[in-house]
Every structure is written in structure tokens, then in C-alpha cells.
Amino acid sequence: MRVPLIDRLFDLLDRAAHWGVHPDYRKEPAASRLIGKLPLPPMLYLPLVQHAGAPARAIVKVGDAVLAGQLLAEAGGTISAPIHAPAAGVVEAIGPLPAPHPSGLAVETITLRVTGSEHIDYAVCNDPFALTPEELARRVEAAGVVGMGGATFPSAPKLHLGRRMAVHTLVINGGECEPYLSCDDRLMQERADGVLEGVRLIATMIGAGRILIGIEDNKPIACKAMQQAAEHFPNISVQSVPTRYPMGSGEQLMTWLTGQELPAGARMASIGVLVHNVGTAYAVHRAIRFGEPLTHRIVTVAGNAVRQPRNLEVPIGTPASALVEFCGGLTEEPLRLVMGGPMMGLALPSLDVPVIKGSSGVLALTAAECNETEEEDCIRCGSCAHVCPLHLLPLDMAASVRAGDLEGAAKLGLEDCLTCGACSYICPAHLPLSHYFDFAKGERWANEQSQRQTDMIREMTEAKRERLAREAAERRAELMRRKAEADAAKQKEKTL
């Protein structure tokens, strides 16, 4: 039973609630150094899974010589992305190699021995805005562009969806709220015009009239550069948003800029909005204007264990160790090697894994930076609830998960959780809250699969039993019919 008036009162109290945390950002010195260009490494390792969705299918064979930009693997489904060669070389092997993932599991990978930088003829387009939205989206799809913010969702399906679903607003995410990372910051500072053209191309593709670019206010130079680039476009508004983790989460930034709230479980397009990352916009610009597939990305190499932290533009497939070496190597033994940001990134078992399309950072963090401390008892201080961008109750959810009550956790909103890690970051008892939630989500997923399989087995068993019974009945009927026929024939013979 709910009383509307009381609910309104509660809403007012809730609205006063803050969300988010203010971690030590540690973006310097990488954020103030120019993007460096990593020379071609001798070997490139291109996993066939670099994006959300189905793995790509290799179309080259071992021993094939390829040019830079040449297609190596085609999209393996509607939600998938092709993979291209970042350099000219010879396919050395296609087989399982360690993935940039905490599990250390192997993933099908194309190994390319680099021989040079000769590339295929790129289809340069001098007037991209003359192309139809469909053609633009097709070119983005062919270039293998995925979400560069870390989620690596293939961009093309999102663009097609935007066209179908009457999207009025394009939100461009320049939040970059993760500590250490400054690849988007540098990109906007140094290549604002390219980013802006990408933004306009995306807007053209999805037919969005309004463009909002959100940049956290700890990146004033980038914000200014983007504002300058956007000067002549009245439909583009470059806005400075408060620095607060996780402001760079699509939903949070969108809500901050548009005031709209994304209904739970719904897609952005359903409320007429699409969110793309600035890195994605830049990749779109390269793909359309210069016909270049997505083969390079900017990676922040940082952490106190790295001698000269900086941003590097690297060929995708470069081993992480090559990046760290180029930045002067390690000064001390790091406690954690992380791909991505420290809040949501993935711990790497070693640096011998490749940079992939979604790798925004390679971090070598010392024990002092990580500040990992022994767990204490939860005193229900509520910090986790106060910082949760979704206003969940992490403490209660974690208690449920720990007690094995996954459904209880789900009722508290487990599936809404972004696993942004703000709760784990702030928890004074150092509880691994977001770890509990990832565990619980995985467990629930596996349980669902198991349930589905049991149901399917039951159905199939039933179906087979019925089929066998039907076949037996048919056989019997057939026998009877033949017998009857034979009898009748005999009868006839007799009468004759």
C-alpha cells in the first residue's frame, strides 16, 4: 500500500541525495603530454572477440600475406564486428592465446608477423555529408567500429536502431570519469575537429536534431577545444559537467544533460536518446572521411609503477608490454596490472596480452595506489547507498548474496547495478561489494541457463516419446491394414 503524498515527500528527500564518489583522479602527468605514436611492434595479436556479441570469423589462413587495413575476420552475426589488419604482414598463426581478461583464459587469436605499413587503398570521401545515412552506417559497420568507451558494443547496430526509433538527441560522452585515464581528454584537445565531424556524422546517421556533448569539468582545455570546434553548429552544445565518478556512465551523463531518466531494462533509443563516446566519434570520422577501418586506438599508459606515463596511439593487437616499455618500463613491481580504468577495468594476469578495441588504459598500479586493505565488519554506515548512482542498497544486496539469496538480491535491484564500483571504492569496511554483484549476476545467468536446459530437455524428451508412440501406433495401424488386406484377399481367393 502506498500513499501518493508520502511518496512525493520521499521523492523530495531522495532528490537531495547525492550520488557518486570523488576518487583521487591522478590524471597527471599523462593528461598534459602529447599523444605519442607507438612504432609498429614485430608481432600483433588480434583476438576474434574484441567486442560485445558474437566472435568474428577469421577469413584469412595461416601463411597469408596481408596489407594494413585488410579484412582479417568478418562479423560473426548481427551483433558483431569485423577485424582488420593494423599493419602489413604475414598471418603466423590462428589459435587460442591468453585474452586480456582476469580469467587468463585463451581466446582464438590471429597472430600477425608485421612486415611493414603498406596499406590497401582507402576509399577517401571528401564530402561525407552527401552520403545517405544508410551508406554512412554501412561504412561504419564495415570499418569494425565499436564503442570505444570500454563497453565495446558494435556501433553499427546502435546506429541502425537510432534511425528506426526516432532518436531526437545524441549525447556524446566525454566524461572520462575513471581515474588515470586521459585518452579521451587528449583526443579532444588535439583532434577536436575530427571528433566533431564524427559527432555530426553520427547525428546524421541516426537523424538526431540535438547534440549534447558532456565533458567533466576537470578537462577545461578539452572542453574549450570542443566548444571552439562546435562554434558554427547551433544544434551542438558542449557542456561542462561536474567531475564525479561515474559521470561517464551513459545513463548518468544522459540524465544529467537531458533531465530524462532511462527506465529500468529499457534501451536508450526508447526515450529518444543515443549515447556515443568521443573515441567512437573519432573512429567514425576516420572510417568515413579517410575510409580507414578501426585498427588503432589511443591508450593511456599510467600508474605509479610506469616510468613515463602518457597517452599512446597504438595499433590494436600490440602486446601491453610493448606499451609499457615504450613509456620507459616499470620502476617497481606493480601490485595490479589493469586494462581499462581502475574502477571498472580488468586485472591482467600479465602484460603479455594484446591491446584490443576497448582498451582505454594499461595501468601498472603500486600497492600504495590500490590501497587494498583487509575487510572489516559492515556497520551499515550507508556510504555505499549514498554513492550509488542508481540509489541501490549495496549493503543489503551484498548481505543477500553472501547468504546465498540471489533472488533476494535481485529484488533489491541487482540486475540494475552497473558494477561501477563506487560502493566498493567508498566502503570503509573495504567490502568487495561490486565483486559480490558480478558474482551474483554470473550465478543467476548460469542458473537461468541451467533452468532453460532442464526445461528444454524435458520438452524434447516429451516430444520424442510422443513421436515414438505415434510412430508405433502408425506402424500398428499399417500392420492391421495390411493384415486386413491380406485377409480380404484370402477371403476373395476362397470365394473364387
Partner 1 sequence: MLIPLLSLSLLGGALGLALALAGRFFKVEGNPLVEEVAAMMPNSQCGLCGLPGCGVAAEKMVNGEVELTCCVPGGKVLAQRIADKLGIPLSLEGFEEIVPQVARVNESICTGCSKCYKICATDAVFGASKRIHGVIAELCTGCGKCVDICPTEAIHLEEIAVTLRTWRWQKPLAQGVQA
Partner 2 sequence: MTPFATHAPYAHAWGSIGDIMHKVMLALLPATLFAFWSFGWPAFWLWLVTVASAAGWEAACVWLAGKRIKPKLLDRSAMLTGWLLALSLPPWAPWWVGVVGSFIAIVLSKQVFGGLGCNPFNPAMVARVALLISFPVTMTQWVSALPLLPGQSVDFLQGLQITFGGIPMLDGVASASVLGGIKTELSKVGHLPALDSLFTAWQSTLGLRAGSLGESSAVLILLGGIWLTRHYIIGWRIPLSMLAGVLVPAVLFWLINPQHYASPLVHMLSGGLWLGAFFIATDPVTSPTSNAGQVIFGLGCGLLTYLIRSWGGYPEGVAFAVLLMNAVTPLIERATPPRIYGRNREGKPLEAKA
Number of residues that bind partner 1 (CB under 8 A): 43
- Length, in residues, of the chain: 496
* Nearest approach, Cβ of residue 152 and partner 2 (Å): 16
Alpha-carbon distance 469 to 477, whole Å?
Answer: 12
Query: What is the residue-wise DSSP string for 18-53?
Result: ---B------TTGGGSPPEEPPPPSEEEEES--SSS
Residue 481 binds which entry of partner 1, partner 2, none, CB below 5-8 Å type-dependent: none
34 vs 86, 177, 188, 249, CA distance in Å? 22, 20, 12, 26
User: Which range binds partner 2 by CB under 8 A, 51-59, 106-114, 413-421, 470-478?
Assistant: 413-421
Residue 415 binds which entry of partner 1, partner 2, none, CB below 5-8 Å type-dependent: none
Give the DSSP H or E segment for 228. Answer: helix 220-229
Site for partner 2 in 11-40 (CB under 8 A): 11, 13-14, 16-17, 21, 23-24
Residue 398 binds which entry of partner 1, partner 2, none, CB below 5-8 Å type-dependent: partner 1
Q: Which amino acid is at 335?
A: L
407 forms part of the interface with partner 2 (CB under 8 A): no
113 forms part of the interface with partner 2 (CB under 8 A): no
347 forms part of the interface with partner 1 (CB under 8 A): no
Task: Compare residues 266 and 456 and give the one whose CB is closer to partner 1.
Answer: 456
Angle at 110 between CA 113 and CA 360, to 5 degrees: 95
Interacting residue with partner 1 among 27, 84, 101, 286 (CB under 8 A) = 101
48 vs 17, 73, 96, 109, 322, CA distance in Å? 43, 7, 10, 6, 21
270 forms part of the interface with partner 2 (CB under 8 A): yes
Site for partner 2 in 41-100 (CB under 8 A): none
Beta-sheet pairing, 296-302 with 310-315 = antiparallel
Beta-sheet pairing, 210-216 with 236-241 = parallel
Number of residues that bind partner 2 (CB under 8 A): 77
Give the DSSP H or E segment for 289. Answer: helix 278-289
**CB–CB of 357/146 below 8 Å?**
yes
Q: How many CB atoms lie within 10 A of CB 224?
A: 16
Beta sheet of 83-84, edge-to-edge order: 57-58, 71-74, 83-84
328 forms part of the interface with partner 1 (CB under 8 A): no
392 forms part of the interface with partner 2 (CB under 8 A): yes
461 forms part of the interface with partner 1 (CB under 8 A): yes
Residue 207 binds which entry of partner 2, partner 1, none, CB below 5-8 Å type-dependent: none
Angle at 248 between CA 363 and CA 222, to 5 degrees: 80
Task: Compare residues 134 and 375 and give the one whose CB is closer to partner 1.
Answer: 375
Task: Compare residues 18 and 492 and give the one whose CB is closer to partner 2.
Answer: 18
Task: Compare residues 325 and 438 and give the one whose CB is closer to partner 1.
Answer: 438
Task: Compare residues 10 and 129 and give the one whose CB is closer to partner 2.
Answer: 10
**Interface positions with partner 1 (CB under 8 A):** 49, 99, 101, 103, 105, 107, 374-378, 380, 395-396, 398-399, 401-402, 429-432, 435-436, 438-439, 442-443, 445-447, 450-451, 453-454, 456-458, 460-464
